[in-house]
Amino acid sequence: MPRARRSTAATKKGSASRGSLRTELLQLKVSDKLNPIKGSRAATRAESEASEDEGASDVLSHCSSASESVSVAEEGSGNDAQDFLSAQEQREDKVKEDIDNLTDKSAKTRLTALGGLRLSLSSQVLGDFLAERRVTFTDALERCLKKGKDEEQSLAATVLSLLCLQLGSGSEGEEVFHCLKPNLISILTDSSAGATARQSCAAALGLCCFIAAADVEDLVSCLSVLEGILTLLYSENNGAPSSQQGLVCCAIQSWALLLTICPASRIQKTLESHLPRLSGVLACESVSLRIAAGETLALLYELARDLDDDFYYEDTDALCVTLKELATDSNKYRAKTDRRKQRSIFRDVLHYIESSEFHAETIKFGLEVMYVDSWVRRRTYSTFKEALSSGVRHHLQHNEVLRDIFFMGPPLVLDAAAIKASKISRVEKHMFNSAAFKARTKARNRVRDKRADIL
């Protein structure tokens, strides 16, 4: 121990300075508090002097870090609240900037602003903030719909549907819908408009009417416009031009969404006029059109059975034969993903029409679970999922408008402890996956052993 020899030698010669002696005394006092020694301290002082230097520094650093951690813990809650408020202000400033950029002369700037607004409105709940700026926002969107080209009109219609979803069915949302409804219908019915813009306007017209229309006349007028698009499907020998197949699919889905809130008299007329013609659409070449028509047929059957438990359609047997063929379709000239999707959906459609049973789907978000247990609920959820994309679960958790539509009550207020307790640790998740894998392997081995007997 070189440092110990040097210090003892200096003490014997009496050449150590007063500062070094004071340092040694302080170190000894600290070491006495840390390590109480049984017996004589003088016998072990020379051997542990070097380690005591390190112990003293460790104690001092430990005390300082402990005091810092206490101060951070005391200020943690306040810092979290401040960080949340500052982040919220930054998001609102970004939305405000994008709204202002909608009136810019540059088309590229307007497109960038519309893309930013679509992302912001689909991933956040900003109802109060947008309600204060709805007039400016509505005027800017109207300008984009009137003077913009295909891509700009398409983005503006999508942002409009998200705006109505944020504002809800109150006076603010109804005002925005009434202001921009003529522009949506104008683009939708204009054959010279871009295909993408017409599709977005068809989707926006159905969603905005579903949320914000307070008058039956608005509902009937929107249904009539969408039914006019369906004539393209009926007039082309159970098909539609390839350039307009996307438009017809969007029109069918929006039309089906609005049927879910129609009065009984309107549904009865719809069954009489559209049920036979939609059955013929199942023979068209487009997979997307067949799927849209099949889901709408199941929805019509469900609405009819809600009105009359003894509902009977005279061509049900022929329809079931067609549905069974589509549910087992294995034609190689179609893509594998299209065949798989078609078979899955038409199995569900056939099962419901034959037995009135629906295969429920479970949607999990946060600590809550929502059950999609009917074709009406499935059509509604699919519409909002397509509009919100990856933000649908966030809106299901926090957006009061969407929660009212699905009858889930006000948003839950959870503290950090409850959220942490609900999470599964990585070890528990690994153990669960291992147990599931073992059980699955055992079950498959049993089946493999009996395969020869079965054959």
Q: What tens digit of pLDDT does each residue of 357-376 get?
A: 998 999 999 889 999 999 99
Give which of 67, 50, 141, 133 is closest to 96, Cα–Cα: 133
pLDDT score recorded for residue 441: 82
Assess whether pLDDT exceeds 70 at residue 181.
Answer: yes
Are 147 and 186 in contact by the 8 Å Cβ rule? The answer is no
Are 122 and 386 in contact by the 8 Å Cβ rule? The answer is no
Separation between Cα atoms, residue 166 and residue 172, nearest integer Å: 10
Q: How would residue 4 be classed by pLDDT, with cut points 50, 70 and 90?
A: very low
Assess whether pLDDT exceeds 90 at residue 178.
Answer: yes
pLDDT score recorded for residue 17: 42
Q: What is the mean pLDDT of residues 207-232?
A: 91
Are 174 and 215 in contact by the 8 Å Cβ rule? The answer is no
Q: What 3 state SS string does the chain have?
A: CHHHHHHHHHHHHCCCCHHHHHHHHHHHHHHHHHCCCCCCCHHHHHHHHHHHHHHHHHHHHHHHHHHHHHHHHHHHHHHHHHHHHHHHHHHHHHHHHHHHHCCCCCHHHHHHHHHHHHHHHHHCCCHHHHHHCHHHHHHHHHHHHHHCCHHHHHHHHHHHHHHHHHHCCCHHHHHHHHHHHHHHHHHHCCCCCCHHHHHHHHHHHHHHHHHHCCCHHHHHHHHHHHHHHHHHHHHCCCCCCHHHHHHHHHHHHHHHHHHCCCCHHHHHHHHHHHHHHHHHHCCCCCHHHHHHHHHHHHHHHHHHHHHCCCCCCCCHHHHHHHHHHHHCCCCCCCCHHHHHHHHHHHHHHHHHHHHCCCCCEEEEECCEEEEECCHHHHHHHHHHHHHHHHHHHHHHHHCHHHHHHCCCCCCCCCCHHHHHHHCCCHHHHHHHHHHHHHHHHHHHHHHHHCHHHHC
Separation between Cα atoms, residue 237 and residue 280, nearest integer Å: 9
Residue 326, CA distances (Å) to 276, 317, 390 in order: 18, 15, 30
pLDDT score recorded for residue 236: 57
pLDDT score recorded for residue 85: 75
Q: What's the angle, vertex CA 267, arms to CA 266 and CA 268, rounded to 5?
A: 90
pLDDT score recorded for residue 301: 95
**341: its two tokens:** 């999707």
**How much is the mean pLDDT over the chain?**
80
pLDDT score recorded for residue 243: 73
Q: What is the mean pLDDT of residues 193-212?
A: 95
Of residues 416 and 428, more confidently modeled: 428
Assess whether pLDDT exceeds 70 at residue 24.
Answer: no
**394: its two tokens:** 């966030």
Q: How would residue 284 be classed by pLDDT, with cut points 50, 70 and 90?
A: confident
Q: How would residue 48 be classed by pLDDT, with cut points 50, 70 and 90?
A: very low
pLDDT score recorded for residue 80: 61
pLDDT score recorded for residue 196: 95
Q: Which domains can be identified in the chain, with CATH numbers?
A: 2-71 (no CATH), 86-214 (1.25.10.10)
- The residues pairing with 363 across neighbouring beta strands, listed in sequence order, are 370
The pTM of this model reads 0.74
Q: What is the mean pLDDT of residues 310-330?
A: 89
**6: its two tokens:** 């040097």
Separation between Cα atoms, residue 395 and residue 130, nearest integer Å: 16
Lowest mean pLDDT among 35-39, 345-349, 357-361, 364-368: 35-39
